[in-house]
Structure 1
Amino acid sequence: MTVFRLDPTLKADTLPVASIGLCAVRLMNDRRFPWLILVPQRAGVTEIHDLTPLDQTMLTFEIATVSEHLKQVTNCHKINVAALGNQVSQLHVHVIARETADAAWPKPVWGAGTPVCYRDGEAEAFIAKFSDAF
């Protein structure tokens, strides 16, 4: 049996938020966008169809729940959800709060300028606010 390990790129680019059942929730370290990453904690999974039917259902539920809470916390205009995997093959789902005035609107956030890391205490404050709502 293979042990789940977080992809090194995801580990380097994100901060831990919580483990909510199937997924580890992580915060992308880019303060321009409230951007969460859900990573199913299953070894060797690269596609949604690689998950068992039960895990697929759980992933859908966790995406919806995280999306709802992110929208409540940020009061954003739109929630974007995507699972691309072009640069990091480990299955992970992006849940991003978007505003019509954000740095990438209306285009996707990928490749939109240079990421701006959270300053001291900002990520922790956001994580606490999200966790309290969750």
Structure 2
Amino acid sequence: MEFTLHPQLAKDSYILGNFSLSQLLLINDSQFPWFILVPRKVAITEVFQLDSNSQQQLWSESSHLSETVMNLFKGDKLNVAAIGNLVPQLHLHHIVRYKADPLWPSPIWGKLPMVAYDFEVVLQIQEKLGRGLQDFEPLTVQKKS
């Protein structure tokens, strides 16, 4: 079998590129800088299902992404979570939070309707991330219809 992104993640996000293990997504909600790492492995729902090298690689990618997005977006806090109640495919959320954001300090899950990004802003975010991330291969971002 070949890796396929879960349909809900594909619907809700832009695919920005790949690390050696994970695909990097940007959730299409301009209210929060919200990124997701999805290990490109088939039928994995939990971190412990990855072999030890892949686990280490995932945490390395997550840590590097975390530092980069906090530097880029100057957040007050970074929320990192692997919940998976609605989307079983293993994925790690990285959400930059601000004390002035509309939901601070509460969780953001399902509280506000999503506000789509302008496509040009998505491309700018991808470009900035590409300059700051090592071992990252940007992909051609597909515009949402």
TM-score interval, normalised by the smaller of the two chains:
over 0.9
Name the residue aligned to 2:13.
14
1:81-120 counterparts in 2 under 5 A?
A: 81-120=80-119
Q: Secondary structure at the match of 2:38?
A: strand
Percent of pairs with identical residues: 36
Name the residue aligned to 1:44.
43
Q: Secondary structure at the match of 1:121?
A: helix
Counterparts of 1:112 and 1:130 in 2: how far apart (Å)? 27
Q: Tell me how large the CA RMSD over aligned residues is.
A: 0.8
Q: Secondary structure at the match of 2:15?
A: strand
TM-score with structure 1 setting the length: 0.96
Counterparts of 1:42 and 1:33 in 2: how far apart (Å)? 27
**Contact 1:15–1:26, Cα closer than 8 Å, also in 2:** yes
5+ long unaligned stretches in structure 1: none
Q: Deviations over 1:65-118 (max 9, x none)?
A: 000000010011111100000010000000011100112210111112111000
Counterparts of 1:120 and 1:63 in 2: how far apart (Å)? 25
Counterparts of 2:108 and 2:122 in 1: how far apart (Å)? 19
Name the residue aligned to 1:3.
2
Counterparts of 2:121 and 2:102 in 1: how far apart (Å)? 19
Report deviation, 1:3.
1.1
Counterparts of 2:88 and 2:117 in 1: how far apart (Å)? 25
Q: Secondary structure at the match of 2:125?
A: helix
**Contact 1:103–1:112, Cα closer than 8 Å, also in 2:** no
Give the count of matched residue pairs.
Answer: 133
Report deviation, 1:61.
0.6
Amino acid at match of 1:36: F
5+ long unaligned stretches in structure 2: 134-145
